[in-house]
Structure 1
């Protein structure tokens, strides 16, 4: 079996090392023989005194079986020593001295099981069963505790909260762990108690209807959901959240939602800033694309005039036009590199370029009597 009581991949049960303490060496050996016959997985280490047993205690023992009456200490006193070092280690009191007083004392001391010696081999079968049950229970508890420890460690290091809530418009929380107070300003205990109610006082009023619709639609699909929304914190700040969760069903019925919530305000603001810059870039590109057509058209016409009239003075005008286009191109490069160009610089470049060409063309036309 695995540590939680299941079978290993090979199908062979995990071994169990039993420390049997009894001052009767012959009986201790007999118990070891029968226990190992009953269960192949059991290996027995014997000791005839508490002192000897204590030297074996740190060698990887899974269960202790001890007599009550022993020369140096009795079984209850031995249990107290073991409990100090290994609080949850299974301890079975297997004694020939049976009485209600001893049984009561053993239970009060925290013994795992109490079994009275008898005649016949059936007692060894019973003892083997008690040992296996005690060890499997002990191992299962350790696995659960380790899983709980890992989960708590994970939650403590998550930048958000984990939750369990009812699938109702108010989203009443049954369980909240993590950075609840850092995210919302409210403690986990306060949110769990319903003061405040998540869906009424924390979820942003403008996002309530949309959040409900998104979750219900997802539950009708595959039972998992993902959404972003805003919350209003205890000190009236608005924050963006990202949430992922799933339906929890029992006997085919939806009983709760469980999931994870984390803050994404910084990411959302960065996204909005990128969108703002992209909008400005698109707008600027549109303006430039339109406004560059005039100076280019003028330059082409002056080149045509120079060719047809064989007048090189027109080429000076074309050169100036190209110089201004070069300046405009440099402005575009600065924008693409830095993402920001002063509005006055952009306006000046465009205005100067367009008006200059138009002005120069009119002047030349007047000079030439056109």
Structure 2
């Protein structure tokens, strides 16, 4: 509420003449509305927050005076009720017990003017009490938030500090009381950059709500803040300046960007500088195999295949660690099924348990995650393994019906290069973990499952259709 809000009263009187007389008794400074029905008044108060008091006549109640008072008293707005009655003494005890704040006679113009005065005072008290409660909440927020907050008076281009919370004082290395009366820009900006602060002050003084990222002095170092500035009330010369420290967040974003750039560079090296000589070596191997028959050619071919697999896995590992910046709702079942079709799964089977909703993910990398898990199951269990994909309370899980991971190996499952399969490179599950972390998920081995079960948590789900071309998931069996 603003400091200039005027009281507003709703009169509930059934008789037309009596209602008109009561409305006429109010001064011009009080806004008055009127209705003949309690039901209509209750409906209005459920949507209109501009009413501050109800004047209820003893002739209006639908279902009795006490019931009517209790209906008003039970509303969220909970405005005071003043009763006007032709027989004040007869209704006052029950009306006051039911929640009315006052009961006034209604036996003439003088009595109605008294009722109007008391209703106006009740409305004014309600406004003051409501504003006081609101200010109390603001004060608690002001003192307890971790954001630095300053209330300042705007004069021309200058913001003079009137009060500062403990978080702001700590931010600038001062006691709150020592900041009062100082120029805000002199506290947080070096002389060479104070024009920047003056410009923001002018915008706020002009009624603009400012939200921008700024660099400010904080305890003798320059830090990055999200600054939100707004006038206390429209047209006021007082304003709040709220500083949220985002220095670490921006540094993490920059580090992720640098990491992604390094991964791109590494992927380029793997893709070109290692694959090119491998391609040359494979060509020579094919020529030799056509021209001569030597026992070492088989071993050489195996070594070249092994190098090709390692390069492919390292390349995928490098790309899998890039942060997913723009995930979109995708059908878990559809991606799981498509990934299955990309793998050599022999006589293995896949079941996707029916579920609602779509998971927020990068569909290509989610597919790569499934492909690596499927290959891991086939490599360790065999060509007849049964794999299940299902949604869980906090994400999803992929399980097989094999013997599971030995307890001694479970803790090393995601280490790069660790494998128990003769032909494995040891990168598959490391790629799975990197893809999960790039989405902001965690992955763990479920020790209670008989086979190998990988549980992905912190995945975000959205309800409804995942979008065109991505049908709802159903139980799906795929055999190859």
Scaled by the length of structure 2, what TM-score is found? 0.42
For the 8 Å contact 1:247–1:256, the answer to whether it is kept is yes
* Cα distance, 1:44 vs structure 2: 8.5
Q: Verify: 1:139 aligned to 2:126, yes or no.
A: yes
Return closer, same or farther for 1:323/1:244 CA change in 2, 3 Å cut-off. Answer: same
Partner of 2:215: 230
1:293 maps to 2:275: yes
Q: What are the ranges of 5 or more consecutive residues in structure 2 without an aligned counterpart?
A: 1-8, 11-29, 34-40, 58-80, 323-415, 417-480
Alpha-carbon distance in 1 for matches of 2:304, 2:192: 54
Q: 1:206 & 1:329 partners in 2: Cα distance?
A: 54
**Preserved contact between residue 302 and residue 317 of structure 1 (Cα < 8 Å):** no
Q: Are the aligned partners of 1:305 and 1:314 in contact in 2 as well (CA < 8 Å)?
A: no
Q: Which residue of 2 aligns with 1:306?
A: 288
1:184-221 CA-partner distances (Å, limit 9, x unpaired)? 33344333320xx33233236787666666x4897799
Residues 191/287 of structure 1: CA separation in 2 closer, same or farther (3 Å cut): farther
Contact 2:157/2:201 (<8 A) preserved: no
Instruction: Choose from 224, 247, 271 the match for 1:240.
Output: 224
Q: Does 1:15 align with 2:42?
A: no
Are 2:260 and 1:278 equivalent residues in the alignment?
Answer: yes
Which of 173, 193, 196 aligns to 1:185? It is: 173
Aligned to 2:54, what secondary structure does the other structure show?
Answer: coil
Matches within 5 A, 1:177-216: 177=165, 179-194=167-182, 197-203=183-189, 215=200
> Are the equivalent residues in 2 in contact too, given 1:299–1:318 (CA < 8 A)?
no
Q: Distance in 2 between matches of 1:42 and 1:323?
A: 95
Structure 1 runs not aligned, ≥5 long: 18-38, 48-52, 66-119, 340-344, 346-370
Q: 1:14: how far off?
A: 0.7
| Equivalent residue number for residue 332 of structure 2 | none
Equivalent positions of 1:86-235 (< 5 A) are 123-165=110-152, 166=154, 171-177=159-165, 179-194=167-182, 197-203=183-189, 215=200, 223-234=208-219
| Aligned counterparts of 1:332 and 1:209: Cα–Cα separation in 2 | 50
Q: Paired residues, what number?
A: 256
Match of residue 306, structure 2, among 319, 323, 333: 323
Instruction: Tell me how far 1:291 sits from its aligned partner.
Output: 0.9
Q: 1:45 to 1:181 in 2, by over 3 A?
A: farther
Quick check: 1:242–1:263 contact (8 Å CA) kept in 2? yes
Q: Distance in 2 between matches of 1:296 and 1:209?
A: 61
RMSD: 4.8
1:63-93 residue CA offsets vs partner (Å, 9 max, x unmatched) = 489xxxxxxxxxxxxxxxxxxxxxxxxxxxx
CA-to-partner distance for each residue in 1:224-255, whole Å, 9 max, x for gaps?
A: 33212232223x2443211223467867xx84
Change (3 A) 1:304 1:208: farther
TM-superposed deviation, 1:284? 1.3
| Alpha-carbon distance in 1 for matches of 2:250, 2:193 | 16
Q: Tell me how far apart the structure 2 counterparts of residues 239 and 247 of structure 1 sit (CA, whole Å).
A: 25
**Aligned mates of 1:319, 1:205 — CA distance in 2:** 70
Q: State the TM-score, normalized to the length of structure 1.
A: 0.52
Whole-Å Cα distance in 2 between the matches of residues 43 and 187 of structure 1? 58
Q: Secondary structure at the match of 1:261?
A: strand
Give the number of the structure whose alpha-carbon radius of gyration is greater: 1
Query: Is the helix fraction higher in 1 or 2?
Result: 1
Distance 1:125 1:220, change over 3 A: closer
